Amino acid sequence: MTTQNAGKAEPAPAEGATIENLLREERTFPPPAGFASRALITDPAILEQASTEEGFRAFWDAEGKRLEWMEPYGELYTWDLPYAKWFIGGKLNVSVNCLDRHVDAGHGDRVAYHWEAEPGETRAITYRELLEETCRLANALRSLGVRKGDRVAIYMPMIPELPVAMLACARIGAAHSVVFGGFSSEALAGRIDDAQCVALITADGGYRKGAAVNLKANADEALRRSPSVKHSVVVRRTGQEVEWSEGRDHWYHELIADQPATAAPEPMDSEDLLYLLYTSGTTAKPKGIMHTTGGYLAGVAATHRYIFDIHDEDVYWCMADIGWVTGHSYIVYGPLANGTTGIIYEGAIDYPDKDRWAQIAAKYHATILYTAPTAIRALMKYGADAFARDDLSSLRLLGSVGEPINPEAWAWYWKYIGGERCPVVDTWWQTETGMIMITPLPGITTLKPGSATFPFPGVKADVVDESGTPVPLGGGGYLVLERPWPAMLRGIYGDPERYQETYWSRYPGRYFAGDGCKRDDEGYYWLLGRVDDVMNVSGHRISTTEVESALVSHPAVAEAAVVGRTDPVTGQAIFCYVILRSGNEPSDALSAELREHVAGAIGKLARPKQIMFTPDLPKTRSGKIMRRLLRDIAEQRSLGDVTTLADESVVEAIRGQSGKDED
Ligand code: WTA
């Protein structure tokens, strides 16, 4: 295994490029021999084979055939731009594929989820138990009048009843709309209204950092404004006092108590709606992303299997919240379709101890860990000593998702959490794509820290400039996808024009992902963040990700967020918010040093104008840095919509600090 130091590079943008390619990373990590020899995918030829139309069809037909169909599909897919359909005419039920199939195959006693509560209690739920509980709830929902084609809102903490609720909806053919438990009543009401949900499944509360969150009270508030909901099913989790609306509210445990443990699964067309998941835009109302049945399930099952290299004995832990697409695809549907044993943890990964996450991984002998760069950087801030006493030797594969991962965070993850033996799969995808699209295959791909490497077999991606012309290797531009894929969104609920406009109008015939991307000379993809996160400094389009990565490569820096601020001379100037690692103090000297460090690492044109040291950064509840807010603060503008902000006090703390220009 080679581990060289990151090289410094002169900026050398390719002809016609629209985003500068500044930061260069020289370290490479081939698959460890022991890993590669028993991986599910060992032949690199698969990428080439699946790139032809014929190979692409053969790949997905084989994946489709792994599923259990009530009626077989005919044609593999149709593509009536911008609408794809997959597994035409096939009928199936997702819950049968995730549960009954494994029980019928004799795996009923296999653990589906090890659940760990934040306060410490645990449950091991087998596939048989999960099936029976799903059927009870499915029967209960039917008894309340919920029918195929209805929409059901779910607003729950990370408890086993959450996947049960999703699977019960799938069993009876109702589409679920999970709203993350950290969202406000207002956000919940808006989403319920948009989809005209007929029922809500919630809980009295949940635990987060030792406190009981008041879910039912939020839900009640939302339901006062959302008359479409006729029934609310409430899981008793915390036992806290709740208000009760007779006739509308039902305790989950009472409702399912007398229900039979079998329920006939609704035969669903491959293209029937499985779920809606809302993604927040920056200003406009959230978009209800539509995912359907057959293609979605085949897509998440295949990507989960091959990218995480799933074997029967694996213990897989995706640390995301089920309320995000990562949880839908890679805690619930992909892993269950593959009969995987997983871990679900209710609370904060650093509560009550900084190494709570490592204690859990050690306790269940987790073999695969899938988390977000924001979590990795938070653990970096605590330092590796915080989990030195936890035995992480069972781990064999690590994954990252949600943001570009800075090469230093990647290297730290590989070294300290992975013990220098686990491949790191940096997986690029979106709520809209439903499944992972750009990713290493851990048995064959030589990794480069910070790069999501190559498109998944059969995925046709490109990097184009403003006019849509492909940018040659070595340059940067905008990521587009050129061929339908089974788990792709089928639209925005109730708003076909917005679907067309958002994803298909900028480059006709191609899906516009909204992300900047560069490719190096070997064709590796390096994601550069959302297009809005590109600065324009003296006519150079510079990605905030690259400047952040340069900052994080300095030993004093734990985390950085970079935005462009209006500048009379350069158009925009680079403004950096920096969180220091413990043991470092803010000073003018350090600030000057960091500015030189960035200039040295990626070139003088990217030397920051200003560094502001801050104890924290505003993040969405899924952990993405809210650069829009940071831009507003840098520009001293009033702040726009802050409903998705996780902790509002952070903004006040940052505003309270006075930054001064250092030029
Ligand atoms: C970003 C999360 C770089 C990207 C699954 C995308 C990433 C947005 C990566 C989607 C990655 C996700 N490298 N950027 N590995 N993964 N992103 O809908 O900007 O919550 O467009 O889906 O996250 O976020 P979403």
Mean pLDDT per 10-residue interval, the chain, length 663 residues: 38 60 89 96 97 98 98 98 97 98 98 97 98 98 98 98 98 97 88 97 95 94 96 97 97 98 98 94 76 98 98 97 96 98 96 97 98 91 95 98 92 97 98 98 98 98 96 96 98 96 94 96 94 82 88 94 89 92 93 94 87 90 85 80 70 63 35
Decide if 369 contacts 379 (C-beta within 8 A). Answer: no
Beta bridge pairs of residue 29: 447
Q: Output the pLDDT for position 656.
A: 66
Residue 74 burial (CB < 10 Å; 0-12/13-18/19+)? exposed
Q: What are phi and psi of 31, to 5 degrees?
A: -60, 135
Instruction: Decide if 252 contacts 234 (C-beta within 8 A).
Output: yes
State the pLDDT at residue 5. 36
Q: Confirm whether pTM is higher than 0.85.
A: yes
For residue 643, the one-letter residue type is T
Measured in degrees and rounded to the nearest 5, phi and psi for residue 606 equal: -105, 15
Cα(162)–Cα(338) distance, integer angstroms: 19
Residue 579, C-beta contacts closer than 8 angstroms, at least 6 positions apart: 381, 557, 558, 559, 560, 613, 614, 615, 616, 617
Both structure tokens of 332? 């619930």
- Give the residue, by CA position, lying nearest to ligand 1 atom 25: 430
* Residue 542, beta-bridge partner list: 535
Residue 58: CB atoms within 10 Å: 15
Residue located nearest, by CA, to atom 7 of ligand 1: 403
509: number of Cβ within 10 Å: 10
Residue 122: how many CA atoms within 13 Å on its side-chain side? 9
Residues 363 and 389 sit within 8 Å (Cβ to Cβ): no
Domain ranges of the chain: 125-266, 531-661
Q: What is the pLDDT of residue 652?
A: 78
Place of tokens 């996450």: 357
| Cα–ligand 1 centroid distance for 436 (angstroms) | 10
The CATH fold of domain 531-661: GMP Synthetase; Chain A, domain 3 (3.30.300)
Residue 657 has what pLDDT? 60
Give CB contacts under 8 A, 24+ apart, made by 29-33: 29/1, 29/2, 29/3, 29/414, 29/423, 29/424, 29/446, 29/447, 29/448, 29/449, 30/1, 30/2, 30/446, 30/447, 31/423, 31/442, 31/443, 31/444, 31/445, 31/446, 32/1, 32/421, 32/423
The DSSP-derived string for 353-405 is STTHHHHHHHHTT--EEEE-HHHHHHHHHH-GGGGTTS--TT--EEEE-SSPP
Give me ligand 1 centre to Cα 25, in Å: 21
- Fold classification of 125-266 is Rossmann fold (3.40.50)
pLDDT score of 22 = 82
Helix (H) or strand (E) holding 566: strand 557-567
Q: What is the CA(365)–ligand 1 centre distance, in A?
A: 28
Binding pocket residue ranges, ligand 1, CB within 6 Å? 279, 324-326, 400-404, 426-431, 452, 513-515, 527, 529-530, 622
Protein residue closest via CA to atom 24 of ligand 1: 430
| Residue of 324, 403, 433, 453 to test ligand 1 pocket, by largest number of atoms within 8 Å of CB | 403
- Mutate which of 425, 527, 528, 626 for ligand 1? The one with the most ligand atoms within 8 Å of its CB, which is 527
Q: Which atom of ligand 1 is nearest to the CA of 400?
A: 15
Relative to beta strand 206-208, strand 211-213 is: antiparallel
Going from the Cα of 624 to the center of ligand 1, the distance in angstroms, rounded, reads 9
Centre of ligand 1 to C-alpha 428, Å, is: 6
Helical axes 649-656 vs 627-634, angle rounded to 10°? 30
**Residue-level pLDDT at 17:** 65
Give per-residue pLDDT as tens, 121-137. 999 999 999 999 999 99
- In the reported structure, the alpha carbon of residue 326 is separated from the centroid of ligand 1 by a whole-number distance in angstroms of 10
Q: How far is the CA of 308 from the centre of ligand 1 (A)?
A: 18
Torsion angle (degrees, nearest 10) of CA 145, 151, 155, 160 = 70
Ligand 1 atom having least distance to the Cα of 326: 5
Q: Nearest 5°: phi and psi at 325? A: -65, -30
Specify the ligand 1 atom closest to the Cα of 513.
Answer: 21
